[in-house]
Structure 1
């Protein structure tokens, strides 16, 4: 028997068992945008043992969306962190005494139910070996789309034009606007109006207010479903919201 190898193995087990806590920084980052933090309600983070599904840690990412210049404009070098001290994240403090294979889940943005996306990954955690800095970054694709008008089940007279208005932001809450860093002129933003035997698309244009888009449509009597969507052909980001109205 190779006693040196046996001694090394036993020493390794003892070393692992003596470690009480391992820190893992977890962040959620909007695809083609910034980190998801306090300003939009954060991302719900759940860390599980991949085999037993036991929850080892959970919480909400908190902090700022990060430095726009560093994240969106500057070339990224190898090993360079995109995050800073106040950038949104959740520090998971795991009590593991042996190497543990974990699942990390992010649900974001947690306060926007129609827009929530789940992103997940798996990795080994070695006791005492912290993963900090940017840490584990989960990408969250899409747009947050909120229909502002018409309101749900609103009854609208048929003799007036129906205004469709929506607020559209990136998944981090960053603004979508003509000529902006997230340039609406490169996105497809439309309303799809449907009823039995009726289908029409309406182009939505930006109002004077950032991230707010509108269009008008004349409708006859009936029950209609309105879907507003945003799509970026360059990144594949997409998002939508739906509502139903009644034209008297």
Structure 2
């Protein structure tokens, strides 16, 4: 009889030991898109973006990976008026990061994007916190994160271009963070931007001039007078303060 009572008590003890309100985890789809400010999605040709989703309270990384795909529809993103609730970024092949989280309860997460990954000198980071609810999929445009700036690459001078007391030709490529092209009068209108080249010696600016459009998409050029004392670096900056986009590229001499 004592043995039977013990057997009956065991399931009751297990039930009492179970956490109150414990629930099974529910698979929940989450879509994230990193976007270039005033432009399109951070796409594969610029390396995409690294996406991280972490639990706000514990710091645990719940998912991470690379956003991949193309820059999305120019027509939808840049030309069409956007009605409230309308899809802007969702299109076949459009860049995104997609994952499935197993959530047992409403969970506040921090979502972070860093990119463009192929241009370390241009990389920026953006993050936001979002409450996710089990079973409530985040699809379509998803959680969007905006990266501000320009990709600036110094293409010239070469070593043979640098002579003390002479002019130093400078050529640079300036693109949006998504790799979208810039030019005067274009969809990304370079007449809005200030693009300048500087010569530096030990961190101090010793010469500075604006760069002009070359006629080749996204490329700008000019010349700097090399002081007799020389310089050790060329720096090119691109700025659009009205839209909070700034970029910089450097080359050692």
TM-score range with shorter-chain normalisation?
A: 0.7 to 0.9
User: Pick from 182, 201, 205: which aligns with 2:208?
Assistant: 201
User: Pick from 178, 187, 195: which aligns with 1:172?
Assistant: 178
Gaps in structure 2 of 5+ consecutive residues: 1-19
User: Pick from 106, 125, 143: which aligns with 1:118?
Assistant: 125
Q: Check conservation: 2:126, 2:146, Cα contact below 8 A.
A: yes
Which residue does the alignment assign to 1:67? 73
- Cα gap change, 1:174 to 1:221, in 2 (>3 Å): same
**The 10-residue stretch of structure 1 (110-119 or 189-198) with the greater mean CA deviation from structure 2:** 189-198
Q: How much does 1:155 deviate?
A: 7.8
Which residue does the alignment assign to 2:247? 239
User: Pick from 223, 230, 233: which aligns with 1:225?
Assistant: 233
| 2:151 matches 1:147 | no
Q: Deviations over 1:23-54 (max 9, x none)?
A: 11000011100011112110100111111111
1:234 alignment partner, SS class: helix
Task: Give the total of aligned pairs.
Answer: 231
Which residue does the alignment assign to 1:37? 43
Partner Cα separation in structure 1 for residue 40 and residue 47 of structure 2: 14
Gaps in structure 1 of 5+ consecutive residues: 1-11
Larger Rg: 2
For 1:52-131, list aligned pairs within 5 A. 52-83=58-89, 84-131=91-138
TM-score (norm 1): 0.87
Partner Cα separation in structure 1 for residue 134 and residue 241 of structure 2: 43
Q: How much does 1:207 deviate?
A: 1.3
Partner Cα separation in structure 2 for residue 38 and residue 198 of structure 1: 35
User: Pick from 20, 28, 35: which aligns with 2:34?
Assistant: 28
Q: Check conservation: 1:223, 1:244, Cα contact below 8 A.
A: no
Partner Cα separation in structure 2 for residue 13 and residue 111 of structure 1: 46
Q: Check conservation: 1:13, 1:98, Cα contact below 8 A.
A: no
TM-score (norm 2): 0.85
Q: Deviations over 1:147-187 (max 9, x none)?
A: 11125x77823364211111110000000111110111111
Partner Cα separation in structure 1 for residue 52 and residue 104 of structure 2: 20
Computed over aligned residues only, the root mean square deviation of the Cα atoms, in angstroms, reads 2.0
Partner Cα separation in structure 2 for residue 76 and residue 18 of structure 1: 36
